Amino acid sequence: MNKYISISLTILLSTGTFQLQAQEEANETSKTILQQYGTLIDDSRTYLDNKVIKIEALEGFGSLLEEQVKDYENEIERQEGMIKEQSLQLNNKNQELKETQQSLEEAEKVADSFVLGGLAVDKSVFVVVISVLLLSLLVLSAFSYLAFIRAHKVTKIATAEVQVLKEEIEEQKKVALEKQVKLKRELQTALNKLAERG
């Protein structure tokens, strides 16, 4: 990308340089024409506020002027051709730059996504989904742990109560068994007394 920018700047600067060179050459040529004109005026004779100039000198000045104008026109055409050529090069470089930027954007898209189950998934979306799933699992684990702790406490209390109830039932069984044995003895004693009497 920096390569294209530097090429663009080089083209623009060289165009400006060619224009400056053309102006400098025009100034030198102007001096030549002005010097020729000064020489023409200085070498001519004056007659009643008028200058008499030799036709040959005037024709020489005219041909020099015509040559200079043609040279300027040729230089202008050459400079315009170079400007058009550099403009085309600049347009080509800009097009290459756009294509490179598009390729870079596509490469970044490919780098920022991957295929999961046949679907192209953006990495940031994937990270968000995985983060939400992990957070949900952590919350679910926390609730499960709290439910387990609560159930464990309830189970411990219920186990203690069952143990107490078992002990009470065992105590009740002992008392009932003792009563039953006592009643059987009393019944047996009463039966024995009846049998003796009867």
How does pLDDT run across 122-169, given as a tens digit for each residue?
Answer: 888 888 889 999 999 999 999 999 999 999 999 999 999 999 999 999
Q: Are 20 and 2 in contact (CB under 8 A)?
A: no
Write down the pLDDT at residue 63: 82
How much of the chain, in percent, has pLDDT values that exceed 90? 43
Q: Over 50: is that where the pLDDT of 74 sits?
A: yes
Q: Does the pTM exceed 0.85?
A: no
The pLDDT value given to residue 4: 47
- 8 Å CB contact between 54 and 44: yes
Half-sphere exposure for 79 (CA within 13 Å, toward CB): 17
